[in-house]
Amino acid sequence: MTGAQGRKRDRKATEALIMKAVGTVLTREGFPGLTLKAVAAEAGVDKVLIYRYYGPIDALLTAYGQSVEFWPTVADVVPPEPEAISPAARLAYFLDRTTEELSRRPLTLELLAMEVGAPNPLTEALDTVREAWGRDVAQHLLGGSDPDPQLNVAISLVLAGIQNLLVRGRTTGIYSGMDIGSAEGWREIRASLPWLCERLLPSRPDPNPSTED
């Protein structure tokens, strides 16, 4: 189980084992359990090698942060043909997809939790990626239209709320009476998104039918 018994001496392969082990340990044990020892054991590698190849543990985290795709891509969460549907539907699609994509990334949720409780090089990487993603998504969603600052705040709050509840859902079952700990509960939450988006971006058919083709 331990050591390089079966495999040749191969730094690249060893490094790959280490990177993979970081993710595995992080997912299984959470950040508190992410120790050199645990990573070494998981990778079947001596911890000296980890230190030798990556330096202090912060550097290891940085390296890992650059090696993995934590966050959904813009394409993952933006409707294929944004112009074909109403702004509200666009927004709902985006929120719904983001929710789903994040919920299937336990590692990312762990990172989001660390981000507020114990910032570290890993979470910094995530932070940067998320901000860039946010700007990018806004581009795709709003097109070039003048963004209403109040609307922007509202959307950001909802998005931050979804992330908060996803993160909480890892360890808690209930928030404000909502079931945030089960797939069932999240289906219900997601089902409410279109209603919410319609409120934020009402598609009144009469005054300015610019969004209709």
Partner DNA sequence: CGCAAATGTCACCCATAGGTGACATGAGTC
Partner DNA sequence: GACTCATGTCACCTATGGGTGACATTTGCG
Nearer Cβ to a copy of itself, position 150 or 208? 150
CA distances from 54 to 4, 19, 22, 64 (A): 19, 10, 12, 10
* Shortest distance, position 86 Cβ to DNA, whole Å: 50
User: Is there binding between residue 16 and a copy of itself (CB under 8 A)?
Assistant: no
Spatial contact of 44 and 17, defined as CB atoms under 8 Å apart = yes
* Shortest distance, position 169 Cβ to a copy of itself, whole Å: 10
User: CA 79, CA 140: separation in Å to the nearest integer?
Assistant: 9
The residue type of 204 is: R
Instruction: Find the binding residues for a copy of itself in span 185-204 (CB under 8 A).
Output: 188-189, 192, 195-196, 199-200, 202
177: left (phi over 0), alpha (psi -120 to 50) or beta: left
Count the site residues for a copy of itself by CB under 8 A. Answer: 49
**Contact residues for a copy of itself (CB under 8 A)?**
31-32, 112-119, 127, 131, 134-135, 138, 149-150, 152-165, 167-168, 170-172, 174-178, 188-189, 192, 195-196, 199-200, 202
